[in-house]
Amino acid sequence: MRLSWRRSRRRIPLAWYNLRHERSRLLVAIAGVAFAVLLMFMNLGFLGALINTTTNFYDQFNGDIFLVSPQSLEISSTKAFPRQRLYQAAGIEGVQRAMPLYAEYALWKNPETQISRAMFVYGFNPSDPVFLMPELNTDAARQALQQPNTTFIDRRSRPEFGPQTIGLETEADRRRITIVGQYALGGGFAADGTLIMSDQNFRRYFAPRPLTQINLGLLLLDPGTDAQRVQATLRSRLPADVNLYTKAEIVRKESQFWIQTTSIGFIFGLGVLVSFIVGTVIVYQILYTDIRDHLREYATLKAIGYSGGYLFKVVLHEAVILALLGYVPGLILALGLYALADNATAGTLPMQMTLFRVVFVLALTITMCSLSGLISVRKAVTTDPAAVFA
């Protein structure tokens, strides 16, 4: 009884009834919107993962302030600068420890397939707590790293690099190398795999490169020190051949590098745009067909006294219903594919759904469908009510 009372107080949801009446067309429309939603999520997901991978290894870097050459673009394309700067920085009040980090690409030979592939190599002084990964912070690990021609290997390296068994021997840059440990770091878009070795071994593999030229300087501050104040002091003392960043700043700088100055950010941005357009066209097709099929009925509504504004609302209502109905399966599919992509890249491409993205794509979807509604609605609104008598 209560239901019928409620039903009778409400206006007839013509938009919903019209959509529901053509089941198969509704399903096609939902599939189309879901597909567009999925494409947008995937593109944004890749873009987000890219941002994440350029930053997430910094989470494992034990530094409060980072010294980088002004000519460095991102971690894998750095310009080395004098180690001297690190010693100068160490003398500033509030700086507890100054640590160098070396980085280069080496050719790693897969011991099973004999195929060599570029591996990103970090070199550090094993007595410095440069990395936060627990595997590297044991006495045994430091001991192992100090042996000649040894390395730790990243578990998140692509499987093409071959087995990661401890004790395995292969070649890096035409020199024997033995795996003595594993860690999990991830190389982002710049590296398919990473190695971490001692500075002494780094010197061996990348001779004649001297250890006096470093790629990254990490400064640990005394607890409770204001990083920004130390940064300002450092800035006033150090020459212009180094830039100083807090962790948040270097993370933001590298994200911007990837998004703004490489084609990667552009590609995924374009991907989102194309998905948006595809979705708009699909929804337009559906709405247009629906309007065309109901033109006489809409003209009748106008003839009996409904205004063009009412028809406008009906079409827009249909558009929003399609947006919401397509969004849900799109989101579910996207979550599934995120997990799949995460698996396929062994966690090196961390596809994570964020609340921002959920809301952003929902807004894009509603905009997309409303836009289609606006394009197709003209035909309904301008219907000549006299046409029903023709």
Q: Find the shortest distance in angstroms from Cβ 294 to other proteins.
A: 7
Check residue 9 for interaction with other proteins (CB under 8 A): yes
Task: Please identify which residue in 1, 2, 3, 17 interacts with other proteins, judged by CB under 8 A.
Answer: 17
> Quick one: tokens of 236?
């006033």
Check residue 18 for interaction with other proteins (CB under 8 A): yes
Check residue 1 for interaction with other proteins (CB under 8 A): no
Q: Find the shortest distance in angstroms from Cβ 280 to other proteins.
A: 25
Q: Are 243 and 70 in contact (CB under 8 A)?
A: yes
- The stretch among 212-220, 226-234, 364-372, 379-387 that binds other proteins (CB under 8 A) is 379-387
Q: How far apart are CA 225 and CA 221, in angstroms?
A: 6
Site string for other proteins, 34-73 (x = CB under 8 A): ----------------------------------------
Q: Which of 369, 379, 368 is nearest to 289 (CA)?
A: 379
Q: Find the shortest distance in angstroms from Cβ 304 to other proteins.
A: 6
Q: Which is nearer to other proteins, 346 or 388 (CB)?
A: 388
Task: Please identify which residue in 1, 2, 11, 139 interacts with other proteins, judged by CB under 8 A.
Answer: 11
Q: Find the shortest distance in angstroms from Cβ 388 to other proteins.
A: 5
Q: Are 50 and 188 in contact (CB under 8 A)?
A: yes
Q: Which is nearer to other proteins, 247 or 294 (CB)?
A: 294
CA end-to-end span of the chain: 43
Q: Are 119 and 185 in contact (CB under 8 A)?
A: no
Q: How far apart are CA 120 and CA 54, in angstroms?
A: 14
Q: Find the shortest distance in angstroms from Cβ 32 to other proteins.
A: 20
Q: How far apart are CA 74 and CA 177, in angstroms?
A: 27
Q: Which is nearer to other proteins, 300 or 345 (CB)?
A: 300
Range list of β-strands (E), the chain? 65-68, 81-82, 95-109, 116-124, 150-154, 169-172, 175-183, 194-198, 213-214, 216-221, 243-246
Check residue 292 for interaction with other proteins (CB under 8 A): no
- The stretch among 114-122, 191-199, 280-288, 380-388 that binds other proteins (CB under 8 A) is 380-388
Contacts (CB under 8 A) with other proteins, residues 294-333: 294, 296-297, 299-307
Q: How far apart are CA 243 and CA 334, in angstroms?
A: 40
Q: Which is nearer to other proteins, 15 or 349 (CB)?
A: 15
Q: Which helix (H) or strand (E) holds 248?
A: helix 247-261
Is 180 strand, coil or helix?
strand
Q: Which residues bind other proteins (CB under 8 A)?
A: 4, 7-12, 14, 17-18, 20-21, 294, 296-297, 299-307, 384-386, 388-390
